[in-house]
Amino acid sequence: RRLCILKGIYPHEPKHKKKVNKGSTAPRTFYLLKDIKFLLHEPIVNKFREYKVFVRKLRKAYGKSEWSTVERLKDNKPTYKLDHIVKERYPTFIDALRDLDDALSMCFLFSTFPRTGKCHVQTIQLCRRLAVEFQNYVIASRSLRKVFLSIKGIYYQAEVLGQPVTWITPYAFAHDHPTDVDYRVMATFTEFYTTLLGFVNFRLYHSLNLLYPPKIDSQADAELKPTEGKEYAMDSESYLERLSALSSSLARVVAPTHEDEVEMDEFPVEGETAEQMDAKKKEQEALEKHKKLFEGLRFFLNREVPREPLAFVIRSFGGQVSWDKSLCIGATYDATDPSITHHIIDRPHVEKQVVGRYYLQPQWVFDSVNAKLCLPVADYFPGVLLPPHLSPFVTEQEGDYVPPEKLKLLALQRGENPDEESEEEEEEEEEEEDDNDKEEEEEEDESEKEEEMKLKKMEEQKTQSNKALPVKVTAGKVRVEDKQRLEQEQQSEEKRLAIMMMKKREKYLYKKIMFGKKRKVREANKLAAKRKAHDTALREEKKKSKKAQRA
């Protein structure tokens, strides 16, 4: 099992399950014979055996209380390395980056475990170190793109060498360890992931000309040392702590030579029109702008705010950040510093406000990052009811439901300022949406109805003509038939007839696809309806409160 985890071997679903399983259909897992042979040839198998022998000997020596033997055995403890497996599983660096999601999530989870029980302290420390190193890399390369506060944890998405890497970190609380989880499996995964992440970090740091293991910029270091040294006696620990404070830049092997400013050379690719080029350029510019979102802003984190995620996010968009000195090492400036522009606070009200800075709730930082622009601060003052926090990972396709908040945001991004008439617009948008929905519904019904309608009309005509003889002649109404509608009807009928002619298999597929589409529409409609109900309820409440005020 352990070997399977390390080597990334997974079972296969056989084509003929019954044949493989000798006639029974009981669920079993099947591995490829090739994979099993492949595992047998792995050199690490021998190392595992050695380790097993070592453990047995050690236990025996303990039992006999032969302490010198114990010492000797411990000195010769067999070790194994997973380097070659990493290389084998990920022949290229890009492959490794592609699979980094799980590795990061796991490392971030393990780094929050308590140092007791459950798993080895060294593992936890290593995880913590690697996670912090990766965060530092993201800061240094400014590659963070999206952040999302979910109820499960905080999702981050960074773009490392063109690959989107997404990971989730839990909120900083003690875990209550579930009993139905096999920690050995998790530990084996972590073992592999730490190795992978270590190599990836090494490579990433070198791609940025940074030292690995990371060192804090000597300049900043000098500033920090005298004050911090006293409070933190243990040097080795304080180093990691300071690193994890994420407040200072890292030392480079080569002094930064403003390489970032070098204009990208333009290689006109053949077949690429000027428009595409333009679009590309624009995108590039937008990206650059996004990277420098918080440049020049100075943040101060109040003590009740989760420090690490916020510091990480702000720093990776170029902002400067500090916190209360007693909270953590590495605070660079004080709360009273007059140059602070944004004070992140998560309390219902502020006791004493300093003029010249915004007091904001932490969601502002995350929402701004996702919106790629500094949002208007008014919605985020302390004590204010926050606007909803939307997921940046959702990209609406055509026909999907788009929440009104997102529409507003998109409008903001386009450069419009709908703040004043936002409400009206919202309403309009909603109305539009509703109209659309109705139309869709109608369309669905139409196809069924139209046939009946036609027949009815005909019948009417006929009855008219039949009855016209004995009964008095009534003036025929001029029936203005919508030509478009007729055409539509005809087309839909043709389509239905064609559907009738489809082969059985294709028909099945077609029906499935159409079912999926309809379900999507239904869900969107449901959401919209819910939203509408909610809004109307709100409006009525408002009206009521207004009336009450007037009275």
Partner 1 sequence: PLPSVPLQDIRNTVGNIPMEWYQDFPHIGYNLDGKKIYKPIRNKDELDMFLEKMENPDYWRTVQDKMTGADVRLTDEQLELVQRLQRGQFGDVNFDPYEPAVDFFTHEVMIHPVTNRPADKRSFIPSLIEKEKVSKLVHAIKMGWIKPRKPKDDTPTYYDLWAHEDPNSILGRHKMHVPAPKLRLPGHEESYNPPPHYLLSEEERLAWEQQEPAERRLNFVPQQHRCLRAVPAYPRFIHERFERCLDLYLCPRQRKMRVNVDPEDLIPKLPKPRDLQPFPTTQALIYRGHTSLVRCLSVSPSGQWLVSGSDDGTVRFWEVSTARCMRTLPVGAVVKSVAWNPNPTLCLVAVAVEQSVLLVNPCLGDKLLYGATDQLLEAYVPPEEERVQPVQWVLPGAEEHGKGIRLIVQHGKPVKQVTWHGKGDYFSSVVSDTSSRQVLIHQSSKRWSQAPFQRSKGMVQCVSFHPTRPFFFVATQRYVRVYNLLKQELTKKLMSNCKWVSSMAIHPGGDNVICGSYDSKLAWFDLDLSTRPYQLLRHHRRALRSVAFHRHYPLFASGSDDGTVIVCHGMVYNDLLQNPLLVPVKVLKGHVITLDLGVLDVLFHPTQPWVFSSGADGTVRLYT
Q: Could you say which residues in the range 371-410 bind partner 1, by CB under 8 A?
A: 385-386, 388-391, 393-394, 403-405
Span from 97-105, 263-271, 291-299, 436-444 in contact with partner 1 (CB under 8 A)? 97-105
Within 441-470, the residues that bind partner 1 by CB under 8 A are 451-452, 454-455, 458-459, 462
Among 170, 229, 256, 376, binds partner 1 (CB under 8 A): 170
The minimum distance between CB 82 and partner 1, in angstroms, equals 11
Q: Is 494 in the site for partner 1 (CB under 8 A)?
A: yes
Within 16-45, the residues that bind partner 1 by CB under 8 A are 29-30, 38
- The four Cα atoms 363, 365, 368, 370 give a dihedral, to 10 degrees, of -80
Sign of the CA dihedral running 94, 99, 100, 101: positive
Within 332-351, the residues that bind partner 1 by CB under 8 A are 346-347
Sign of the CA dihedral running 365, 227, 326, 106: positive
183-207 and 100-111 helices cross at what angle (nearest 10)?
110
Q: Structure tokens of 356?
A: 């010249």
Q: Is 98 helix (H, G, I), strand (E, B) or coil?
A: helix
Q: Alpha helices, DSSP H only, in 248-300?
A: 274-291
Q: Is 203 in the site for partner 1 (CB under 8 A)?
A: yes
Among 47, 215, 252, 531, binds partner 1 (CB under 8 A): 531
Span from 284-292, 349-357, 431-439, 527-535 in contact with partner 1 (CB under 8 A)? 527-535
Span from 9-17, 289-297, 407-415, 478-486 in contact with partner 1 (CB under 8 A)? 9-17
- Identity of the residue, 357 or 531, whose beta carbon is nearer to partner 1 in the bound complex: 531
Among 61, 109, 160, 311, binds partner 1 (CB under 8 A): 109
Within 256-295, the residues that bind partner 1 by CB under 8 A are none
Q: For 219-252, give one letter per residue: b (16+ CB within 10 A) or e.
A: ebeeebeeebeeeeeeeeebbebbbbbbbbbbbb
DSSP assignment letter at 174 = -
Span from 234-242, 250-258, 280-288, 357-365 in contact with partner 1 (CB under 8 A)? 357-365
Phi, psi of 167 (to 5 degrees): -145, 165
Site string for partner 1, 290-309 (x = CB under 8 A): --------------xxx---
Sign of the CA dihedral running 308, 310, 312, 314: negative
DSSP assignment letter at 298 = E
Among 98, 282, 449, 543, binds partner 1 (CB under 8 A): 98
**Which residues partner with 30 through β-bridges?**
12
**Which residues partner with 344 through β-bridges?**
301, 360
Q: Which of 244, 253, 161 is nearest to 204 (CA)?
A: 161
With beta carbons less than 8 A apart as the criterion, state whether 489 and 450 touch. Answer: yes
Q: What does the alpha-carbon distance between residue 461 and residue 449 come to, in Å, rounded to a whole number? A: 18
Span from 222-230, 236-244, 332-340, 493-501 in contact with partner 1 (CB under 8 A)? 493-501
Q: What does the alpha-carbon distance between residue 449 and residue 443 come to, in Å, rounded to a whole number? A: 10
- Identity of the residue, 168 or 354, whose beta carbon is nearer to partner 1 in the bound complex: 168
Q: What does the alpha-carbon distance between residue 310 and residue 154 come to, in Å, rounded to a whole number? A: 11
Among 234, 262, 471, 500, binds partner 1 (CB under 8 A): 500
* Residue keyed to tokens 């999907």: 400
Within 60-79, the residues that bind partner 1 by CB under 8 A are 72, 75-76, 79
Among 199, 239, 333, 381, binds partner 1 (CB under 8 A): 199
The minimum distance between CB 369 and partner 1, in angstroms, equals 14
Q: Is 527 in the site for partner 1 (CB under 8 A)?
A: yes
Phi, psi of 212 (to 5 degrees): -130, 130
Q: Is 428 in the site for partner 1 (CB under 8 A)?
A: no
Q: Is 240 in the site for partner 1 (CB under 8 A)?
A: no
* Residue keyed to tokens 């679009």: 279
Site size with partner 1, rule: CB under 8 A: 110
Q: Is 217 in the site for partner 1 (CB under 8 A)?
A: no
In which region does residue 307 sit, left (phi positive, over 0), alpha (psi from -120 to 50) or beta (all else)? alpha
Within 172-191, the residues that bind partner 1 by CB under 8 A are 173-178, 180-182, 185-186, 189
